[in-house]
Amino acid sequence: MDLIDRHGRVATDLRVSLTDRCNLRCQYCMPAEGLDWLPTDATLTDDELNRLIRIGVEMLGIRDVRFTGGEPLLRRSLPSIVATTKALPSRPRTAMTSNGLGLKHTARALAEAGLDRVNISLDTTDPATFEKITRRNRLHDVLDGLEAAHEAGLRPVKVNAVLLRGINDHEAPDLLRWCMEHGYELRFIEQMPLDAQHGWNREAMVTADETLDLLGRHFRLTGLDGRGSAPAEKFLVDDGPHTVGIIGSVTKPFCGDCNRVRLTADGQIMNCLFAREESDLRAPMRAGASDAEIADRWIAAMATKLPGHGIDDPTFLQSDRPMSAIGG
Ligand code: SAM
């Protein structure tokens, strides 16, 4: 059975949040004091998590599994969860979105466990700007993590950056130059209304077109075709070989091609990052539901996926769950 919605889209890409906790406090994501984290007994155990991933892959057509959070590296059992996922007969592609803190120590183990790729979030290479955005003085740890990922063969190492007006937008060309020098693939992501503080503001957001314009003053950018279900519009930089991606989640939504589904750390299925409803798989699982019953619930949860997220619409209502608790 496929995870198909009423608009004909099929979800094959599962984003699994391993924890809602994070060791950074990025200002566009959460407040300085952090959030009320999920209690331990609400969080899926490794066995529960592995079971849901197996049902998704073996029964529901999931081909890609991305581990995220919160910060996925905070889950100590991550290498074992990756290995269990990779050992499934169809050997799904595995990836992780991480802030890179501590990756220096785990990159090799993760590669050996079967992790294929990583996306590391990095908005600046300036220590002062890094501290301003993340409220932590940990830039050096992220840079070490990036290097370790590259050396461990978790390639292509992609870097995700969010531009904030007046804070790091002027650094965009330097960040691209730095990523190209280090062999990392940079993608800029428009800031989305996913922060716990509900402080997002459409006017303050640096749009994909603005980013393109900012970069275009320093580099020759040639658009590449064939985005498919990938969110980034890709551009060749100065005739290649390096590329840069720009993800216009707000101004150039790609909902019509979306192939994603999200599993939160407490076992809820969210059929969209901006969904206002979630479907609980944890309660039935803990009440003894069979694999087939859980799969049926999951299929039903996907059917109602809306055609679009509507962020750019004045009537848009932000979800109660912030990005860190959904799994970015
Ligand atoms: N902790 C991990 C990390 O830093 O990559 C994974 C979770 S984090 C929520 C995933 C991605 O979401 C990061 O690249 C982060 O920059 C991005 N993100 C968080 N809040 C965002 C927002 N309001 N708009 C756009 N991207 C956001």
Each residue's pLDDT tens digit, 13-34: 999 999 999 999 999 999 999 9
* Atom from ligand 1 closest to the CA of residue 120: 5
Query: Mind listing the pLDDT tens digit for each residue in 206-231?
Result: 999 999 999 999 999 999 987 777 78
Integer-rounded Cα Rg, in Å, for the chain is 19
Task: Work out the pLDDT band at 90, boundaries 50, 70, 90.
Answer: very high
| For ligand 1, mutation pick of 21, 28, 202 (most atoms within 8 Å of CB) | 28
Split at pLDDT 50, 70, 90, the class of 321 is: confident
By DSSP bridging, strand 279-280 and strand 3-4 are unpaired
pLDDT score of 232: 87
Residue 42 binned pLDDT confidence (cut-offs 50, 70, 90): very high
Nearest alpha carbon, ligand 1 atom 5 = 98
Running DSSP on this structure, what letter comes out for residue 110?
H
User: Which residue CA neighbors atom 13 of ligand 1 most closely?
Assistant: 121
CA distances from 310 to 6, 115, 205, 241, 252 (A): 17, 33, 16, 35, 11
Pocket test of ligand 1: the residue of 160, 163, 319, 321 to mutate, having most ligand atoms within 8 Å of its CB, is 160
Q: What pLDDT, in 10s, does the model give residues 142-166?
A: 999 999 999 999 999 999 999 999 9
pTM summary value: 0.97
pLDDT of residue 315: 79
Report the candidate in 255, 229, 267, 230 with the shortest Cα–Cα distance to residue 56. Answer: 267
Rounded distance between C-alpha atoms, residue 168 and residue 181, angstroms? 19
Q: Which protein residue has the closest C-alpha to ligand 1 atom 15? A: 121
CA distance 250 to 269: 22
- Supply the pLDDT for residue 317: 78
Q: Contact, 262 vs 270, CB < 8 A?
A: yes
Residue 196: burial class (beta carbons within 10 Å; 0-12, 13-18, 19+): middle
Percentage of the chain surpassing pLDDT 90? 87
Pocket of ligand 1 (CB under 6 A): 22, 28-29, 68-69, 71, 97-99, 121, 160, 162, 189, 191-192, 194-195, 323-324, 328
Q: Which two tokens stand for residue 55?
A: 């049902």
Q: Which of 21-25, 215-219, 279-283, 320-324 has the lowest mean pLDDT?
A: 320-324
* Region at 250 (left for phi over 0; alpha for psi -120 to 50; beta for the rest): alpha
What beta strand segments (E) does the chain contain? 3-4, 10-11, 13-17, 64-68, 93-98, 117-121, 158-162, 185-189, 221-223, 233-237, 243-247, 260-263, 268-270, 279-280
Q: Is the pLDDT of residue 244 over 80?
A: yes
Strands 117-121, 158-162: pairing is parallel
Nearest Cα neighbor of 73 from 35, 40, 111, 107 is 107
In Å, what is the CA distance from 46 to each residue of 31, 75, 135? 29, 10, 31
**CA-to-CA distance for 94 and 63, rounded, in angstroms?**
9
- pLDDT digit string (tens) for 159-196? 999 999 999 999 999 999 999 999 999 999 999 998 88
Rounded distance between C-alpha atoms, residue 225 and residue 234, angstroms: 8
Mean pLDDT of the region 308-315: 82
Which two three-digit tokens encode residue 124? 């600046």
Q: Which helix (H) or strand (E) holds 51?
A: helix 46-59
Round to whole Å and give the CA distance between 307 and 272. Answer: 10
Q: How far is the CA of 15 from the centre of ligand 1 (A)?
A: 13
